[in-house]
Amino acid sequence: MNPSFKFVLALIISLEISLKTSLTTNLLIIIFALLYLVYKHISPVKLLLTLAVPLIAAFTVFATLYWFAPQPDLYNAFSLASRIYVYTLTIYCVSIDTSPENLARSFEQNFHLPSKFAYGVLAALNIIPRMRQAVKQIRTAGMMRGVYLSFWSPILYFKAILIALNSAENLAQGMESHGFHEAASRSVIVTVPVKQRDWLLAAFILLSFNLALFTLT
């Protein structure tokens, strides 16, 4: 499915279940999301981590609404706690086979977002590995001088910000030298088309979800 369609679909589902309580629908979404992840050959370790990480948040919501509420409601507690897993699993289903680069390109081509937004996102994503390497180099250089820069050291982040500003300036100059201009139309290197099956599949999923949401308890 088109990356933009998957993102909007997950967003609509998350918004609708936050407005209407339906434990059965939440459980169905969780089951289908897990089946989709298994279909995408997710490793058992990642699947267990995906289920274990939201457990604390889900348990906190359940305990607050059931054990510490003036009027405990088991159904409402389970329903709101299951929403944590719905949010987590739907976003994971979107991201498992959709790279940030494809999502940014899809937003630009299919939703007509400004090109400076798409290129800014791509630039930020590509600079993250360089920043990690720069932080390691700064800490190594400090240790060679007998100075240990901890994770929360302001000196470390000050130097990293200076490197980021320098990299941003070099990136801006590089884009201008390659003819980038905000108002000019640009050709597309990697196309992200919207196919008819994307519309049909998105409509089918959205219709099935709303039928379950408003008919099941």
pLDDT of residue 186: 67
The pLDDT confidence band at residue 139, using thresholds 50, 70 and 90, is confident
**Higher pLDDT among residues 39 and 134, named by residue:** 39
Report in angstroms the alpha-carbon separations of 104 from 6, 23, 55, 117, 211. Answer: 13, 33, 31, 8, 31
Report in angstroms the alpha-carbon separations of 116 from 72, 120, 126, 181, 191. Answer: 50, 6, 15, 9, 17
The pLDDT confidence band at residue 118, using thresholds 50, 70 and 90, is confident
Convert the pLDDT of each residue in 62-108 to its tens digit: 988 888 878 888 888 899 999 999 999 999 998 888 888 888 888 88
pLDDT of residue 181: 64
**Higher pLDDT among residues 32 and 175, named by residue:** 32
3-state secondary structure the chain: CCHHHHHHHHHHHHHHHHHCCCHHHHHHHHHHHHHHHHHCCCCHHHHHHHHHCCHHHHHHHHHHHHCCCCCCCHHHHHHHHHHHHHHHHHHHHHHCCCCHHHHHHHHHHHCCCCHHHHHHHHHHHHHHHHHHHHHHHHHHHHHHCCCCCCCCCHHHHHHHHHHHHHHHHHHHHHHHHCCCCCCCCCCCCCCCCCCHHHHHHHHHHHHHHHHHHHHCC
**Higher pLDDT among residues 119 and 215, named by residue:** 215
Q: Which of 84-88, 129-133, 199-203 has the lowest mean pLDDT?
A: 129-133
Q: In percent, how much of the chain has pLDDT > 70?
A: 92
Distance between CA 191 and CA 46 in Å, rounded? 31
pLDDT of residue 105: 83
Q: Which two structure tokens, joined as six digits, stand for 207? A: 């219709």
Convert the pLDDT of each residue in 2-23 to its tens digit: 888 898 999 999 899 988 888 9
